[in-house]
Structure 1
């Protein structure tokens, strides 16, 4: 009774073995064919398939052709007032003028703050009186000098005569000594008269300097706008006391306005003074101008160079400090427009694409990225015409045979 279940288990095991491990032979036996021929055919098919896979890897490629583009320099920056000045007092005084409110437009030379003159008018009158007094002394000191000069001439004549008479024995030595003393006394009088005249001249110059100083101080009582522009702050309030250096007002000049950006050192040689530039403000407004300044020294932190673009702003609608996307025109270049997905890196970390060469083999080409757009990326470094692998580039290396299926660039 126990042998039958055992035999049944052995038969079931043998059948399962044949079904799983000898399936081909079992099917061949059932179809009446030779199992060895079946295995041979299977091995042959497998070998041919392996050779086919090894021979070429299927990829998708794009037939790209170089196009002429305007390789503009793209930056981010902001608007900046052409001039911004904090107008400050140069003398002390109490403000006696009504204030102008911020946002007001002022012309060049317009009064911003008027200071109380105090005793400056009296000081000016005193200095003018000293000048008149000093000038009145000029005729008197000049007359003294003329008188001293005449006495000197007389003394010299007497001395000359006494000397000649003394040589002939007609005058005593005492007389000669007396005439010589008179000459020396006359010379001293002339020197004193000249000194008095110089003192009078110095007094005149001192009085004139005092007048100029007081007049200049009086001029500083009127604080005016150095150029036309907008008030960024209120002018000083009526009754406030300004000391030297005290702030009267802040003025902005917004016409023309500057758009300022910073060019990386890799792009600085492509920017030229006078180049046409455009900018798009954060609100969507587009403006145009020309490059007026390019720094010769790089920022020590960012290693970038400051560039300034002058833009007309007659309506003063562009404000100081608005964010702007800047595009500066540069020399055109030949470039390829490729999908961003076609870009890859080689083993050295270089950016580029894999192409299909004339022998239908994969080849890596280094590229330089010029511009990123919604349609794709503009790159240079490829020949005029190139077959760029867009799908499958990550599965091949240089020299690997590929079977490329081509599609249009916009597909």
Structure 2
């Protein structure tokens, strides 16, 4: 099996490999770039592993005029920036000890040792600079072809090394596994057995994984399995996965939106459990409030903008298990484009202070009720 991709021959890629190999060392592509490349999917990050030690990587890069950023020297990682592209270069390594959140590693020169410390077989594929694929576990290529997600070796052992792998199991299944094939029974059982380990992870790491999971085209089967195995309640207490597949169906061809999907899952203090940004937390709160309200579609568009109004309408449709109304979407669009024609100055000096605010609100309500049709003159009269 050979990998073919434009990024393999990109000037930056070749410069990084030349720098390492000129120093007498070997380098391989690894992980997501190989997996996605073989699947014909976009590659956003190019990871490289090498038998050169981190300080040697820095030395060789600087000698070649490549910027080196020591992003994780303790774990063997240096980020090289060539042709304005970052390349994460990590020395081959093996785990010495781990506490379920972070590992103490030792460097190695054996590709097999490096592969067996990774999470899933499809993520332990390597490629040489000419695209020749290397499969040290002996199962990665077959699993990738079959859309089968499996832990490397014993699933309990892999999870004990990093409990985030529980969430990654569901996330990678949503993105890369055959949706008709079901989750690997051994992996699912291990996730269920060790779900309490999620409590020891940082909220930022949990939030990042959940966001990536919910950005998949159809995360509903994976999230349903999370619920059945007890993982969802550990991750998002109070969340309910039953309406997620309905929302995915109602969304149609819309771009997947993790915040919209979080809104339909619900739960207790979702923003806090996932450490959402202020903007995402505010939007989630708006969607949750709107989906449970009765504000008409036009007013939703006027007060929230078309995107948020549309999302609220989608969530309401999912709750009712009906398609979203095209008429409601049109009304929301009209409301989003409408501009209230009356300003405070138009009511002064006849109205002042709190009375001025009340009169503006009264006229705005009349204008909205008219379908945004009343003119300024009609309102002021």
Q: TM class by shorter-chain length?
A: under 0.3
TM-score by length of 2: 0.17
Higher alpha-carbon Rg: 1
Q: Which has the higher helix share?
A: 2
Q: Which has the higher strand share?
A: 1
With CA pairs under 8 Å and 6+ residues apart, which has the higher RCO, 1 or 2?
A: 1
